[in-house]
Amino acid sequence: MVSRPRSGRPLRTLLAALVAVSVAVPVSGAARPAAVPAPAPVALAPLRTAAGPGALAGRYALNRAGIRAAARMAEGHGDRARARALRRMAGPNRQFLSFDGRGGGRTVEVLGDLARAARIAVLVPGSDTNLDTYGRFLKGATALRRTLDARTVVVAWLGYPTPGTVSPDVLTTGLADSAAPQLRSYLGDMAALRPAARISVLCHSYGSVVCGRAAPGLSVANLVLYGSPGAGADSASALHTRAAVWAGRGADDWIAHVPHGRLRLPFVTVGLGTDPMSDAFGARVFAAGAGGHSDYLAPGSVALRNIARIVSGRTPAEGHRDA
């Protein structure tokens, strides 16, 4: 059943947002990253078979070669900024489980020693995350890794084409529905690769919609939604997962003002479901401090400290639910 906002005002707001975004997209489209040509990704054995340091090292080396090939093609295309970014990604200490440079790019990067991991934190990003903005995503992943112990690995999973912040895609679960099978498959492979590891999935902004759609049946310890516009569900129990479901939102995060609920229109359902910070959703709420939408993994922040506690199996400071 489709959830409905409590009054007509959120419905009207959703409709107004849909109209505004539809008008804005042609204007803002030029600001989206250009499609830079890249070679097809290198052929890899299934991830679940890459047990042991040697197999992982070989996989990382193959992906470094693929990234270097993509850098050469970007240089030949005339996109020197993309080529420079790719050459940095191909550095000798970088560890990519997979890489596909086509379009906006899809990558899975490991920070830490996956062969010895006792705990794994998988980061799922939100809108406007791609090869051209990857440094921002990596910065947060690096800050989290430095907050954790040596037996905890952070995985930056850019495994889907993220929506533009100003686009109709951010108002529906469409991209998340397409991305969810890939995230579910990846997490299944990770659980098979490290069966004793405690896995937490950390989902920022639109990434929490991807996580929500992938959640049913996931064998993970925690599902952490932060800066979330919704998880595409009416409640935590509707996610049908045995994972502990957490939610946090910074006091200065503009996402708090996004209307929640879902509105069925003739050809599409608009809206991303119940606010994860609400009593009605029923998540465990952690304190996220005073930060804004991009500050959750900022070094030294309240949100980073509490997310790290969740990943480590400790109790975070409790936050306040929204009414």
Beta bridge partners of 244: 222
218-238, pLDDT tens digit by residue? 989 999 999 999 999 999 999
Q: How much is the pLDDT for 102?
A: 94
Q: How much is the pLDDT for 25?
A: 39
Q: How much is the pLDDT for 3?
A: 39
pTM to 2 decimals? Answer: 0.90
The CA distance from 12 to 202, in Å, is 31
Q: How much is the pLDDT for 13?
A: 54
- Contact residues for 285 (Cβ-Cβ < 8 A; gap 6+): 246, 247, 248, 277, 318, 319, 320, 321
What is the percentage of the chain residues whose pLDDT exceeds 70?
A: 89
CB contact at 8 A, 307 and 152? no
Q: How much is the pLDDT for 21?
A: 41
Q: How much is the pLDDT for 9?
A: 52
Q: How much is the pLDDT for 258?
A: 87
Among left, alpha and beta (phi > 0; psi -120 to 50; other), residue 230 is left
- Contact residues for 111 (Cβ-Cβ < 8 A; gap 6+): 95, 141, 142, 145, 153, 154, 155, 156
Query: How does 43-69 read in b/e, with b if 16+ C-beta sit within 10 Å?
Result: ebeebeebeeeeebeebbebbbebbeb
Q: How much is the pLDDT for 221?
A: 98
Q: How much is the pLDDT for 320?
A: 82
Q: How much is the pLDDT for 34?
A: 54
Q: How much is the pLDDT for 192?
A: 95
Distance separating the N- and C-terminal Cα atoms of the chain:
23
Q: How much is the pLDDT for 323?
A: 54
Q: How much is the pLDDT for 157?
A: 98
Of 283, 175, 289, residue with least CA distance to 223: 283
Q: What is the mean pLDDT of the chain?
A: 89
Low-confidence ranges of the chain (pLDDT < 50): 1-8, 11, 15-32
51-110, pLDDT tens digit by residue? 888 999 999 999 999 999 999 999 999 999 999 999 999 999 999 999 999 989 999 999
